Structure 1
Amino acid sequence: MESSSAWIIVMVVSILLSAFFSGMEIAFVSANKVRVEIDVKKSGLINRIIHVFYNHSDMFISTLLIGNNVVNVVYSIAMSALLTEPLKHTAVGSNEVLMLLLITLISTVVILITGEFLPKAIFRINPNYSLRMFSLPLFMCYLVLYPISKFTEWISQGVMRLLGIKADKSEIGSLSLEELDAYLQENIDKKEDENVEVDREMKIFENALDFSDTHLRDCMVPRNEIVGVDIADTTRDDLVQLFGKTGLSKLVVYHDDIDNVLGFISVSELFVTDVNWKDQVKPVLFAPETMLAKVMMQNLLHEKRSMAIVVDEFGGTAGMVTLEDLVEEIFGDIEDEHDRNRNKLVARQIGDNTYEFSGRKEIEEINEEFHLDLPESDEYQTIAGLILHELEAMPNEGDHIEVEGGYTLTVLRKSAARIELVRVVASGNNDKEVHDE
């Protein structure tokens, strides 16, 4: 009886240690590396210990695996001692092979559930906290098992050299863009949930990371909002009036139609009265919608240009983008004459779960500002684009559509070629239907 009690204690301790090593392994590999890097810069015993773990990551992982294997072997011995005698008095007791298989099956199921699946699921919930919580006992295990880990590493390196295999020294300390972005988004979401204003520096950092994946179609001025003039029938007086009316500093210049862009004219060129304004038209760059914004910025800077025309797959003008537009993708809105029309975009809550937005308002901005969950897609960027994507036709005023997420979108005002104002009502219906009022 005393022997059975001792084996039970050994088995329980082995399971706990196995759960500990398995959980800490998943906590180590799942921990947010940015947060770890920030923490290890601070003083304190725990931070110094974690710094040791990440500076010697190969040895640390080896220690965890060795510790887990050792306690699993001890666990197997204990389970065998506990189950052998009771199973002898069952139907399989006369067959040693069946009894061995049954003991193996029971032992495997128990250790997989209690020593692998459960601890890994629990430690993965908050890996950084788990790593800090158990870093001290883990460091003690690390010191105890270090000689064994060092010996096994020496053996494995010798075998690899004999086989001509070069060890890949991975840099665990290097941070990926995904890890930086995840850390920033986590902090931004936390501050938004607490209704705390997000630091401008943090937003700029996040925008800079997102900028690497931004395409021109995501930040261009669309075709129907381009202000341009036909070089054939526009006089200097016409330009003066148009510059004064729009408040812009640059106008696109085309021949016959907007699909044949020649360049742009700056308001400063009008001060040179003794030169034909048509001779002052400056060239623009041309780029496809799919070009990355960061590549376009490099091209503009290299060519010393300030404007590019974005073309679609058929060679027609899809929109335009300026150097300022690209800079704003990182630093946010820069107030100048170009933003006057943009600032007029409607975005307001008019009641419980009821909102009104300009058709040109981007869905990503709406979801972020009003904490909504309107469906986003690469097929469109604006709320008007969402409606057109669903209807595949131009709606009439009063038409409304129900989209994924339980939102009803109603067209309040439109012109011949664009949706100008949309009402959004949050509801519980997820079916997509079109109605005429």
Structure 2
Amino acid sequence: MEVSIIIICLILSAFFSGMEIAYISSNKVYLGIEKKQDNFLSKILSKLTENPSKFIASMLIGNNIALVVYGFFMGELIMEQLAFATLTSSIWATVSIQIFISALVIIITSEFLPKIFFQIYANTLIKALAIPAYIFYQLFYYVSSAIIWISDIILMKVFKIKGDNEQLLFSKVELGNYITEQMKSVEDQE
């Protein structure tokens, strides 16, 4: 049972980390064009991208929940294995081994590799995984709204900075990247 929960948490953490980087790395011109299509997926993409900070916050909340649950169950599993193997009697050595193994597994399987993969295939994956992302976006909607509200208050009261500045227009670089991608796509098809 513990192993299946750990695997589910790793998959969820990979999904949340990946979707965060996919949104950041995606071509906003491409997303803008996809949102203009008249289909179910375009409506989902529109809802996901209408408030970028809330989408990112939802993905971060999901990732943190997955990491906490992972840490709890992975810690138990490692402690059981270390007790069974009787490798060490020192609590500090046991905790150090537990931290090292847990961190190594999570960094490789749910942070490093997914972020690389989602960054390379950002446009494809943000579109393909829009529906599950939207489900989690709705699930964490009120929590992310509260966190954004609190962080905006802290930014305004403590740091005297206005928060939540959204970029509404495409930059020249994004437009250029989109045109280059489309030209490569046409060349590949020929």
TM-score scaled to structure 1, two decimals? 0.42
User: Alpha carbons of 1:194 and 1:154: their partners in 2 closer, same or farther (altered >3 Å)?
Assistant: closer
User: Alpha carbons of 1:44 and 1:101: their partners in 2 closer, same or farther (altered >3 Å)?
Assistant: same
Where structure 2 has 5 or more consecutive residues not aligned to the other structure, the ranges are none
Q: 2:30 aligns with which of 35, 55, 60?
A: 35
2:58 alignment partner in structure 1: 63
Q: Distance in 2 between matches of 1:62 and 1:167?
A: 17
The answer as to 2:78 corresponding to 1:54 is: no
Aligned length: 189
Q: Distance in 1 between matches of 2:67 and 2:80?
A: 21
CA contact (8 A) 1:54 1:172 kept: no
The answer as to 2:182 corresponding to 1:187 is: yes
Q: Distance in 2 between matches of 1:148 and 1:27?
A: 22
The Cα shift of 1:161 comes to 2.9
1:147 alignment partner in structure 2: 142
Q: 2:168 aligns with which of 173, 190, 209?
A: 173
Q: 2:110 aligns with which of 107, 115, 120?
A: 115
Paired amino acid for 1:165: K
Q: Distance in 1 between matches of 2:90 and 2:99?
A: 14
Q: 1:90 aligns with which of 86, 89, 112?
A: 86
Which structure shows the bigger proportion of residues in strand conformation? Answer: 1
Q: Distance in 1 between matches of 2:153 and 2:185?
A: 49
1:132 alignment partner in structure 2: 127
Q: 2:4 aligns with which of 6, 9, 13?
A: 9
1:157 alignment partner in structure 2: 152
The Cα shift of 1:57 comes to 0.5
SS of structure 2 residue aligned to 1:21? helix
Q: Distance in 2 between matches of 1:87 and 1:154?
A: 44
Q: Distance in 2 between matches of 1:171 and 1:151?
A: 18
The Cα shift of 1:91 comes to 2.9
Q: Distance in 1 between matches of 2:176 and 2:156?
A: 39
CA contact (8 A) 1:15 1:111 kept: yes
Q: Distance in 2 between matches of 1:68 and 1:189?
A: 34
Q: What is the Cα-based RMSD across aligned positions, in Å?
A: 1.5
The Cα shift of 1:170 comes to 2.9
CA contact (8 A) 1:7 1:82 kept: yes
The Cα shift of 1:74 comes to 0.3
User: Alpha carbons of 1:168 and 1:148: their partners in 2 closer, same or farther (altered >3 Å)?
Assistant: closer
CA contact (8 A) 2:29 2:170 kept: yes
Q: Distance in 2 between matches of 1:166 and 1:90?
A: 54
Report matched runs for 1:266-415 at 5 Å. Answer: none
CA contact (8 A) 1:24 1:123 kept: yes
CA contact (8 A) 1:57 1:172 kept: no
Where structure 1 has 5 or more consecutive residues not aligned to the other structure, the ranges are 1-5, 196-437
Q: Distance in 2 between matches of 1:40 and 1:47?
A: 4
Which structure shows the bigger proportion of residues in helix conformation? Answer: 2
1:386 alignment partner in structure 2: none
Structure number with greater CO (CA < 8 Å, separation at least 6) is 2
CA contact (8 A) 1:83 1:103 kept: yes
Larger Rg computed on CA atoms? 1
Paired amino acid for 1:112: I
SS of structure 1 residue aligned to 2:31? helix
Q: Identity percentage over the alignment?
A: 33
